[in-house]
Every structure is written in structure tokens, then in C-alpha cells.
Amino acid sequence: MTHTLHRRGKPEDLHEDYVLLAMQARGVNREGCEEKMGQVWEVLSHYEADLTNFGNMTDGNSHTTSMDVLKRTTWHMAHAVFKDRETLKACLKEFKERDLGISVVISGLYEETEKICSEIGLSPHTVEHSLGVFGKTELLPEENVLEITTMCGHALVSPSLVIQMIDDINEGRRTYEEAAEELSKMCDCGIFNLYRAKKLLRKMISEA
């Protein structure tokens, strides 16, 4: 639950961060869902070149699995991460046209996701808003670190690893690409936005 809800960042950064989740409900339409999930992955595969990550909790993420494997999965949930609204819109339109009967949730800037729905004739059904973080917020790492770590909703990307990756880049041990990939490996679900992570790492280093 909520693993794509509490992503941090300014609206200008979040314009490049959308997550699509497709799943079936236990006791409603999950039973015998395997064939439908294959079709979900077939739709997502049409946009593979523009996805910054994809996967599910059991088969892995874009580093550890492939669309071909996912098309045969029996797991009832699929994630894909988009860096631009137009590709998300095209994908969502295809889901609408295929009418698979599977629940689809999109995470991202509401002013954009609402418009996307309107442009393709969908009416948003239910929305979840984050109200932020409360309690001992002084324990939190710096905001620019949080922007990266909160892209793994299970909090498996360590703030210390972000700092280590910055050091590795600065000292020539890793490229931006390699650093973003190392961070992404910790996120089992495939919702970590590699494209955005690279940009955020670059920004952190340029502003240091």
C-alpha cells in the first residue's frame, strides 16, 4: 500500500515521474488472472523503450527480469515508470481500448494525471493524497536525498547509499548511470525512476 504515494520533489521534477500500477483484487477479479496479466505486460511492452523502470515484487525489476518473462508471470500486479506524460497517456489510452477489466492506478502530479484522464475520456474514480510527514522530522535526511530514497516506497534505498554514490561519482568509481542503477537494484518492485535519479544525482553534485 501507498508505496508510490509519498514521493518527494518539486513539481518541475515530478513532471518526469509517473508510475502506472495495474492489479486485480483478491476475491473479485484476481482468480484466473494469469492470462490477463500477460496482456497487461504485452501493453506495457509497447512502451518499453520509454520506460525508466518496470517490474513486480516477485519477478523483479528492469535490471533483473525482462518483458518476455513478465508476459508469462502469474503475479497479479504490474508496475511501470514513465518519464513523460505523453507516453503515459498513450499507454493509458491503450489500456482503456483493450478494456482488460483490471484496476489501473497512476501516480504523479494530479494536475497532469487528471488532464490525461480527461484527454482520453476517463473519469478518475478514487484519489489518494499525501499530507506529508509528521513527528520527529529532524531525523530525516536532507530533502535532496529524500527525493531519491522515496522513489522506493518500501524505503530499501538507504540515504547513506545515496551519499556513497555521490562520492563514487566524484572519485570516478562510477558513472551517473551506474550509480542510479546501483540505487535502483534495492527496489524490488521496479518503481524507482532511474532517469530522475540520474538527474537528481547530477543536480546534487553540481550544487555541492
Partner 1 sequence: MKIDKEACTGCELCRPYCPVGAIQAVEHKSEIVSDIDQDACVECGVCLKADVCPADAIYETELEWPRSIRAAFSNPMVRHPSSGASGRGTMEMKTNDVTGRYRRGFAGIGIEMGRPGIGTTFRDLQTVSMSLGRLGVIFESDNPVTATMIDAKTGKFSEEVLNERVLSAIIEFKIETNRLQEVLETLREVSGKIETVFSVGIISRIGPEGSMPNVEIARKAGFSPRPNTKTNVGLGRPLIEEV
Which residues, 44 to 63, sit near partner 1 by CB under 8 A?
Answer: 57
**Cell numbers that stand for 175 in this block:** 558513472
**Eight-class DSSP state of 153:** T
Sheet holding 60-61, edge to edge: 18-23, 77-82, 51-56, 60-61
Phi, psi values for residue 62, rounded to 5°:
-65, -15
Burial environment of residue 129 by CB neighbours within 10 A (0 to 12, 13 to 18, 19 or more): exposed
Output the smallest distance, CB 206 to partner 1, in A: 22
111 touches partner 1 (CB under 8 A): yes
CA dist., res. 117 & res. 185, Å (int): 32
Q: Under rule CB under 8 A, which residues in 116-145 are in contact with partner 1?
A: 117, 122-137, 139-141
Output the smallest distance, CB 125 to partner 1, in A: 4
Q: Under rule CB under 8 A, which residues in 6-45 are in contact with partner 1?
A: 6-9, 11, 14, 17, 21, 23-26, 28-29
Output the smallest distance, CB 127 to partner 1, in A: 5
Instruction: Return the number of the residue (146 or 201) whose C-beta is nearest partner 1.
Output: 146
Q: Under rule CB under 8 A, which residues in 59-88 are in contact with partner 1?
A: none
Task: Give the range of 41-49, 96-104, 169-177, 200-208 binding partner 1 by CB under 8 A.
Answer: 96-104
Element of type H or E holding 54:
strand 51-56
Annotate each residue in 183-202 with x if it binds partner 1 (CB under 8 A) or - if it does not, as one string: --xx-xx-------------
Long-range contacts of 70-75 (CB under 8 A, 24+ apart): 70/41, 70/44, 71/38, 71/41, 71/42, 71/45, 72/38, 73/34, 73/37, 73/38, 73/41, 74/34, 74/37, 75/37
Instruction: Return the number of the residue (67 or 163) whose C-beta is nearest partner 1.
Output: 163
Residue 88 amino acid letter:
L
**Which residue from 38, 71, 94, 105 is in contact with partner 1, where contact means CB under 8 A?**
105
Instruction: Return the number of the residue (81 or 157) whose C-beta is nearest partner 1.
Output: 157
**Cell numbers that stand for 206 in this block:** 553540481
Instruction: Return the number of the residue (20 or 70) whose C-beta is nearest partner 1.
Output: 20
Output the smallest distance, CB 137 to partner 1, in A: 6
**Eight-class DSSP state of 163:** H
Output the smallest distance, CB 78 to partner 1, in A: 12
